């Protein structure tokens, strides 16, 4: 097995946008009584811009994940999403975010199945033995339904916050058409899809079974996904949270098609696919749990088999309201949330340092900082939000930053010292709490 050797990537320092500096000054006042939390926020809020963001000569923006020199579609969006509300009055942030959107659309047109891309066509790959249709631009080609949804999420939110529609050029519409074609194809994966993925490294969750096709599925109207947001292979290939995210993305693309491109045929096509996917979720994606009542499953195959769990990654069951599929007080979402935060979820851990959701992607007993941040962001109760912030503050192992997973009894045991997405999600939670005068 040949795996990458981490290349050196130099990220030039950016001049910090004024709007970001204003937030940091605001924090100096509102968090003065909590010096450690203040320092964490001052470290984490600008972290993406300070360490992972590169302005390219062609006007695009390239954002690495942190400790890996590639740009994940999913991660790069969530790394900058907390800056979007600040962009309306800051031209430098507009340049950064609009450039990232343009870069995403270009990458989607290069390969809509890929999840992570290189800065140039340098032929760097996470694993050089992957059996799939690779490109020199592609770092990794795991098809994760949620990846493209994040690209649409960023474009839509940027448009709504700034009113700037210049991102919606011919390339953007071409990418929308490619997404529509891709998702229609993957509704009938076994009949129509050219996608295969096998990785011969001895790690079952890194590869698709059945000669790279994945396990059999029944037609449901939902969209097939090879991998989860954790980059681990799905057990059953209709990932319900990812399909919920796709429903939201189709609605957002429909709005763009109607009000920007004035293409009513495209509006109708997007609405038809949205209706198919949503019907599939309602018909196949729910499970009557003996303790929690009707809940959403994490995955299903359409044959009556279910994966009942939640993963710390986004999208997950916890993030359903965060992504806009259901309201935070929706009864089925609340049932699902209670399930996810219980021992019925095999990846929920309770320890002396904290309790929360982990992932099969990290060792047993490891809680993810992102899961605690997401729990806080989706909580409707003030005390729950504050509890998550307190746990996040107490479990940084005095590094001054968030991590991926940490041991529930010993936060000094953790994975990924430099994980910008986790820093950004934490920042989003704390900034929201500041704005709501909870701190």
> Could you read off the pLDDT of 144-173 as tens digits, one per residue?
999 999 999 999 999 999 999 999 999 999
What confidence tier does 79 reach under pLDDT thresholds 50, 70, 90? very high
Question: pTM score, two decimals?
Answer: 0.96
Query: Could you tell me if 245 and 147 are in contact, meaning their C-beta atoms sit under 8 angstroms apart?
Result: no
Task: State residue 7's pLDDT score.
Answer: 54
Q: For residue 409, tell me if it sits in a domain.
A: yes
Residues 232 and 309: their CA atoms lie apart, in Å, by 14
Q: For residue 152, tell me if it sits in a domain.
A: yes
- In 3D space, the residue among 73, 80, 22, 62 whose CA is nearest the CA of residue 420 turns out to be 80
Q: What is the CATH number of the domain that holds 190?
A: 1.50.10.10
Structural domain boundaries, residue 261: 18-435
Q: For residue 52, tell me if it sits in a domain.
A: yes
Residues 196 and 192: their CA atoms lie apart, in Å, by 12
Residues 78 and 91: their CA atoms lie apart, in Å, by 20
Q: Which are the contacts of 183, defined by CB distance < 8 A and separation ≥ 6? A: 145, 223, 246, 273, 277
Query: Tokens for 412?
Result: 């000094």
Q: For residue 217, tell me if it sits in a domain.
A: yes
CA–centroid distance for 254 within its chain:
21
What confidence tier does 3 reach under pLDDT thresholds 50, 70, 90? very low
pLDDT digits (tens, 9 = 90+) for 39-70: 999 999 999 999 999 999 999 999 999 888 99
Instruction: Label residues 389-416 b or e (16+ Cβ within 10 Å = b).
Output: bebbbebbbeeebbbbbbbbeebeebeb
Q: How many domains does the chain have?
A: 1
Task: State residue 66's pLDDT score.
Answer: 85
Q: For residue 9, tell me if it sits in a domain.
A: no
**Mean pLDDT value of segment 173-179:** 98
Q: For residue 11, tell me if it sits in a domain.
A: no
Residues 12 and 254: their CA atoms lie apart, in Å, by 37
Q: What is the percentage of the chain residues whose pLDDT exceeds 90?
A: 93
Query: Tokens for 401?
Result: 């930053």
Q: For residue 13, tell me if it sits in a domain.
A: no
Mean pLDDT, the chain, integer: 96
Q: For residue 258, tell me if it sits in a domain.
A: yes
Q: What is the percentage of the chain residues whose pLDDT exceeds 70?
A: 97
CA–centroid distance for 248 within its chain:
14
What confidence tier does 1 reach under pLDDT thresholds 50, 70, 90? very low
> Does residue 386 carry a pLDDT above 70?
yes
Query: Tokens for 372?
Result: 């605690």
What confidence tier does 6 reach under pLDDT thresholds 50, 70, 90? low
Residues 248 and 146: their CA atoms lie apart, in Å, by 11
Task: State residue 10's pLDDT score.
Answer: 60
Task: State residue 2's pLDDT score.
Answer: 40
């Amino acid at each position: 097995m040949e795996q990458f050797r981490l290349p050196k990537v130099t990220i030039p320092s950016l001049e910090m946008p004024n709007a970001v500096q204003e937030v940091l000054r605001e924090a100096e006042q509102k968090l003065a009584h909590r010096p450690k939390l203040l320092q964490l926020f001052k470290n984490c809020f600008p972290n993406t811009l300070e360490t992972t963001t590169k302005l390219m000569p062609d006007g695009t923006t390239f954002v690495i994940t942190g400790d890996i020199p590639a740009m994940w579609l999913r991660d790069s969006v969530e790394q900058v999403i907390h800056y979007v509300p600040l962009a309306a009055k800051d031209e430098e942030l507009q340049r950064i975010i609009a450039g990232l959107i343009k870069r995403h659309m270009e990458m989607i047109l290069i390969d809509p199945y890929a999840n992570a891309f290189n800065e140039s066509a340098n032929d760097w790959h996470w694993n050089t033995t992957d059996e799939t249709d690779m490109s020199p631009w592609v770092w990794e080609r795991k098809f994760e339904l949620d990846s493209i949804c994040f690209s649409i999420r960023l474009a839509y939110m940027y448009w709504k916050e700034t009113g700037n529609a210049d991102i919606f050029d011919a390339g953007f519409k071409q990418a929308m058409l490619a997404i529509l074609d891709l998702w229609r194809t993957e509704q009938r994966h076994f009949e129509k899809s050219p996608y295969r993925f096998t990785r011969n490294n001895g790690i079952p969750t890194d590869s698709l079974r059945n000669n790279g096709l994945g396990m059999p599925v029944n037609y449901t109207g939902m969209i097939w996904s090879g991998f989860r947001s954790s980059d681990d292979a799905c057990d059953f290939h209709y990932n319900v949270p990812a399909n919920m995210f796709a429903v939201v993305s189709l609605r957002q693309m429909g709005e763009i098609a109607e009000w920007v491109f004035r293409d009513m045929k495209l509006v109708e096509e997007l609405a038809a696919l949205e209706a198919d996917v949503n019907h599939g979720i309602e018909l196949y994606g729910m499970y009557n749990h003996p303790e929690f009542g009707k809940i959403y499953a994490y995955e299903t195959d359409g044959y009556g088999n279910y994966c009942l769990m939640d993963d710390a990654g986004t999208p997950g069951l916890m993030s359903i309201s965060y992504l806009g599929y259901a309201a935070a007080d929706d009864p089925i979402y609340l049932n699902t949330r209670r399930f996810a935060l219980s021992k019925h979820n095999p990846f929920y851990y309770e320890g002396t340092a904290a309790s929360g959701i982990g992932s099969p992607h990290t060792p047993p007993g490891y809680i993810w900082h992102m899961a605690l941040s997401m729990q806080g962001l989706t909580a409707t109760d003030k005390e729950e939000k504050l509890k998550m912030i307190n746990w996040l503050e107490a479990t940084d192992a005095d590094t001054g930053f968030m991590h991926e997973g940490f041991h529930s009894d010993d936060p000094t045991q953790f994975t990924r010292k430099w994980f910008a997405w986790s820093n950004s999600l934490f920042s989003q939670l704390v900034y929201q709490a500041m704005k709501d005068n909870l701190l």
